[in-house]
Every structure is written in structure tokens, then in C-alpha cells.
Structure 1
Amino acid sequence: MILETNRLQIIPCTIETVQITINQNYYNGPHISSYLKDLTKDPSLLYWGCWIVVRKSDERVIGDIGFKGKPDEKQTVEVGYGFLEEFWNKGYATEAVEALIGWAFNTSKVEKVKAETLKDNYGSMSVLAKLGMQRINETETMINWELDKEFYQF
């Protein structure tokens, strides 16, 4: 399964699909490797971890997004994302995260999506606000967000 938007393909990360990132020397942290190890132990994690974001126009890996695990007992997942800096402020994060949230809500396994951002990560805050997420609390360094399925515009 591949999610598609106007400009992007969003591909679930597996041992096979991760080759795209290797071929392009894409590295945005250790989370992909960690997820693949977990996926090997628990195949039911597929789709509930990392996804690779590829720009259609040139098949370039520009970032990765995903969930921090399967839906919990309250049907809640946490979304996270990271994009290479050269692709910031171009709407790619908003486009990709919107597609992933829409997919999650359409599975019937998710009723709420959460996220967190650093207080000084204004780009990420903008992405979450555009998607209709609400700030629910703050700490000294972090802001927590959530979006209920009933308020999401498909």
C-alpha cells in the first residue's frame, strides 16, 4: 500500500522499501532502523511505524513520517515526522501528515491522533495547526496536540 497526494508518495517502511533511503543516502535519525528491528519481531507493527516520503517529480526521499506505535486501548496514536531542511516551508509536511492522519482515521482503529512539538519549532506548530490539531497542554519545552476523528475534515 502506498498513500498518494498531489506531489508525494508515502510508502510504508519495510526491509524492502528502506532500500530507497539507502540508495539516496537519506538519514534523518536512528528511528527507521529501530522501527525495522521492531517490525521484524512484530509484523503487526506494519503501518504503525515509519513511512518514507518521496517527492513524485524526481522520486527523491524528502522526509519520513509515521506513528509511534499501534493504536492504544483508547484508539489513539501519536504521529511524528521529519523532513530534510531543504524541503521545509514548502507544504510537504502538511501534505504528508494530512494523508497519514486521514489513512489512520479511515482504518476504524483510530479515534484520536496526538503529536508533540518543541516550543520553538514554529514550522511544526504551523503544520499541526493547519491540520486542525488543538494544543492540549504545555511543559517548559514541549507542546502537546491532539485531533479527534469527529473534528477531522476528510
Structure 2
Amino acid sequence: MELVHLNYLEKNEGEGMESIETKRLLLIEYTREMIEATIAGIGELEAVLGCEVSEDWPGIDFFFYLPYVLDNVKKKPEMTRWTRLVILKEENIVIGEIGGQGDPDETGEIELGYSIVPEFQHHGYMTEALSAMLAWLKEQEVITRIFARSFESNLASIGVLERTGFVHQMNEDEVQSGGKITHWEWHKK
């Protein structure tokens, strides 16, 4: 298969798709076509992208969230720019996703979420992806505040947040059925 940025992005050049590239990763807009393909099956997404998709992606939580996302994207197509697939360039494979939990709100606040499949964890990929996403978000004038949440027990995720400059907002922490959720904030510099 061709590299995704030479295949899918080239095929859709001129349609306003903006990718974010790092040394090892390509973050591409998760379009309506891709969302529909993911819901239909990973083979469908691989056909759309022209690259592999990890057999462990998407995780169960993200997968069950997709019909809701698709409904929102049908109403507001431009919201896809806030969520990206994470592609490991060297292996030409989707290894995760990163992005906003919807559009920024009316005050310019956006909550970020991310995940990476277990096989590719602990290699710095998500720190690299989040750093690149933050740099891109910093350039978006509409964004005034970026925040994230993580279970207190998810030390790897907390490490990613700390390494990318997020600050723990202890006064906003909450307890849910799955455990304590910590709140983090990143300030545009």
C-alpha cells in the first residue's frame, strides 16, 4: 500500500483537509467518510485510507461514541477538523486518535481526548501527537482554553499531559463510578 499521505491526502487535495506532520507521525482529519467506514468495519476504513489500521483500533469506548459523532458531523461537517487519526508513518498504520470532544464551545474552550493502541504505547507517540496538536490549536484564533481529563489511575496518560505542559487543576477533580477523574489545563503561550 502507498503511504497514506501520498494516497488519501493526495486524492483529496484541494478539499480543505489539513494534516499535521511530525517526525514519526501524521495526524489527519477524521472525516465523515472515515467515520462511516470505521462503523462499517476496519477493512472499509483501510480501503478509504489506503493504509493499515491496527486490529486494536478503535478502542471500545471510542467505537461506541462514533454514531453520536457521525450524527453531529452530519449536522455540522466542519467539526471534523478538531479530531485526527494518528498514523505511524514508518509502518503506515493507524495507531490511535486525538482531538476535541466536539467543537470548541462558544467561549473558545475545547476538551481534548486521545488514545493509542496498547502495542504502540510507551514509545512517546502520544506525547509527540499531543505536542503537535497543541501547536496547531495554538494557531487557531477561536481557541481560548484547552483542557483534558484523565482517570487518576491512568499514569501513562497523566505523564503525557505533564510532558506536554498541562497543569493539574486539583479544585476541579471529580469522582465517578470508574474512579477519580483529574482535570488538566494547558495555556496558550
TM-score, with length taken from structure 1: 0.88
Q: Report the alpha carbon displacement of residue 74 of structure 1 after superposing the two structures with TM.
A: 2.6
Matches within 5 A, 1:2-151: 2-18=19-35, 19=37, 21=42, 22-23=45-46, 24=53, 25=55, 26-28=57-59, 29-30=62-63, 31-48=65-82, 50-137=83-170, 138-140=173-175, 141-150=180-189
Runs of 4+ deviating beyond 6 Å: none
Show structure 1 runs of 5+ residues with no match: none
Which one has a bigger Cα radius of gyration? 2
Per the alignment, in what secondary structure is the counterpart of residue 103 of structure 2?
coil
Cα distance in 2, alignment partners of residues 113 and 66 from structure 1: 11
Give a deviation string over 1:38-80, Cα, whole Å, max 9, x none. 11121131212x3110000011111011101222233211100
TM-score, with length taken from structure 2: 0.73
Q: Identity of aligned pairs, percent?
A: 29
The answer to which structure has the higher strand fraction is 1
Give the letter for the 1:148 counterpart.
H
The answer to which structure has the higher helix fraction is 2
In the alignment of these two chains, the number of paired residues is: 149
Cα distance in 1, alignment partners of residues 25 and 68 from structure 2: 24
